[in-house]
């Protein structure tokens, strides 16, 4: 069931979507679903060969649907060029997905200032540059644009060993709500998704190094006992970008199989108590109620 597309055919007819980091992983999966729903797509990332390959795949699904423009989200000139070239090609851009990210696990005391900068510059500043430069264009041309930011669940909680990413995603979540509040008057909406674990090569190469699975079972942390399916995320992304969610803005939607609330909950560990023991526990507690 969860591998099926959710929205009606043609939902994105006449819509142009710009996806940063759209050549791989989750950005690619979302892009593919949007193409199937009729969207035109601009994908961008640093590696031209990677985005060219993805664009070719998308164009096989829907002819002339996709263009690939290389650029680094940290570079203003690249950001401007992607927006201007994309706009000229498709005559508009209606939606932006700030999906590009950098991340790796590391004890914080091993980080250099340059390592912190790299992640903040990609995730927080890169997403803000795109939002700013495209937003100005939308406001000037009275385009009711829609923004979707991809954040994480540890943006809510913080997390050791990924401090630059946690700080950057925390900022991105805050940017989501702030832009939503300020630009609603221009009919620009801005929402975010906070995904739990959705296996991708980019994330797993940097967050789950080989051998890790011997010590750590990531699925055990998730109360629904499985990782996310890309189609599940694509369904939510498509909904948040579509007119079906036109009354929703400033929202950060978690999609994580219950992972973060489960692990934050002080008593979730009681799962480990066998069912048979609960009668005895209840009896003992009730005894204490006696005056």
**Residue 228 within binding range of ligand HXC, rule CB under 6 A:** no
Shortest distance, position 109 Cβ to ligand HXC, whole Å? 11
- Within 179-198, the residues that bind ligand NAP by CB under 6 A are 195, 197-198
Residue among 24 and 65 whose Cβ is closer to ligand HXC = 24
- 186 flagged as catalytic: no
Structure tokens at 64: 């002339």
Residue among 143 and 152 whose Cβ is closer to ligand NAP = 152
Please choose which of ligand HXC, ligand NAP, none residue 114 contacts, taking the beta carbon within 5 to 8 angstroms, the exact cut-off set by kind: ligand HXC
Shortest distance, position 51 Cβ to ligand NAP, whole Å? 7
- Within 222-281, the residues that bind ligand NAP by CB under 6 A are none
**Residue 207 within binding range of ligand HXC, rule CB under 6 A:** yes
> Which residue in 65, 128, 152, 231 binds ligand NAP (CB under 6 A)?
152
**Residue 49 within binding range of ligand HXC, rule CB under 6 A:** no
Distance CA 70, CA 50 (A): 9
Q: State which H helix or E strand residue 6 sits in.
A: none
Residue among 39 and 194 whose Cβ is closer to ligand HXC = 194
Please list the helix, strand and coil fractions of the chain in percent, rounded to the nearest 5, in that order: 55, 10, 35
Question: Which one of the listed residues 2, 129, 154, 161 is annotated catalytic?
Answer: 154
- The closest of 235, 231, 229 to 198, measured between CA atoms, is 229
Residue among 94 and 259 whose Cβ is closer to ligand NAP = 259
Output the CA angle 150-221-110, nearest 5 degrees. Answer: 65
User: Which residues are registered as beta bridge partners of 193?
Assistant: 150, 253
> Which residue in 3, 49, 112, 279 binds ligand HXC (CB under 6 A)?
112
DSSP for 142-210 reads: T---EEEEE--THHHH--TT-HHHHHHHHHHHHHHHHHHHHHGGGT-EEEEEEE-----HHHHHHHS-T
**Residue 124 within binding range of ligand NAP, rule CB under 6 A:** no
Shortest distance, position 147 Cβ to ligand HXC, whole Å? 18
- What is the residue whose two structure tokens read 């996709």? 66
Query: Across the beta sheet with 189-195, what order do the strands follow?
Result: 66-68, 40-44, 16-20, 95-98, 146-150, 189-195, 252-255
Distance CA 145, CA 134 (A): 9
User: Which residues are registered as beta bridge partners of 150?
Assistant: 193
**Residue 47 within binding range of ligand NAP, rule CB under 6 A:** yes
> Which residue in 41, 73, 134, 203 binds ligand HXC (CB under 6 A)?
203
Please enumerate in sequence order all residues whose Cβ is within 8 A of that of 90, keeping only pairs 6 or more positions apart, or say none: 16, 40, 42, 67
Q: Which residues bind ligand NAP (CB under 6 A)?
A: 20-21, 23-27, 45-47, 50, 72-74, 99-103, 122, 150, 152, 195, 197-198, 200, 202-203
Q: Which residues bind ligand HXC (CB under 6 A)?
A: 101-104, 106, 110-112, 114-115, 118, 152, 165, 197, 202-203, 206-207
Q: Which residues are catalytic?
A: 154
């Amino acid at each position: 069931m969860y591998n099926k597309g959710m929205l009606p055919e043609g939902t994105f007819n006449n819509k142009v979507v710009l996806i940063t980091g759209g050549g791989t992983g989750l950005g690619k999966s979302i892009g593919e679903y949007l193409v199937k729903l009729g969207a035109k797509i601009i994908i961008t990332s640093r590696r031209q060969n990677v985005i060219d390959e993805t664009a070719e795949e998308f164009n096989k699904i829907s002819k002339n649907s996709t263009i690939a423009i290389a650029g680094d989200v940290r570079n203003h000139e690249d950001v401007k060029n992607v927006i201007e070239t994309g706009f000229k090609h498709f005559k508009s851009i209606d939606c932006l997905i700030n999906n590009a990210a950098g991340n790796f696990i590391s004890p914080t005391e091993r980080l250099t200032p340059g390592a912190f900068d790299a992640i903040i510059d990609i995730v927080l500043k890169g997403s803000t540059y795109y939002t700013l430069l495209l937003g100005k264009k939308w406001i000037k041309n009275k385009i009711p644009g829609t923004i979707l930011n991809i954040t994480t669940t540890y943006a809510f909680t913080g997390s050791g060993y990924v401090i630059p990413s946690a700080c950057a995603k925390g900022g991105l979540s805050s940017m989501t709500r702030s832009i939503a509040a300020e630009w609603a008057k221009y009919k620009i909406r801005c929402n975010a998704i906070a995904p739990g674990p959705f296996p991708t090569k980019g994330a797993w190469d940097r967050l789950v190094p080989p051998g890790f699975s011997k010590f750590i079972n990531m699925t055990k942390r998730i109360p629904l006992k499985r990782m996310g399916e890309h189609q599940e995320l694509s369904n939510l992304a498509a909904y948040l970008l579509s007119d079906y969610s036109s009354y929703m803005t400033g929202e950060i939607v978690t999609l994580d199989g219950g992972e973060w609330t489960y692990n934050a909950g002080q008593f979730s560990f009681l799962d480990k108590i066998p069912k048979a023991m609960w009668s005895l526990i209840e009896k003992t507690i009730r005894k204490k109620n006696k005056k």
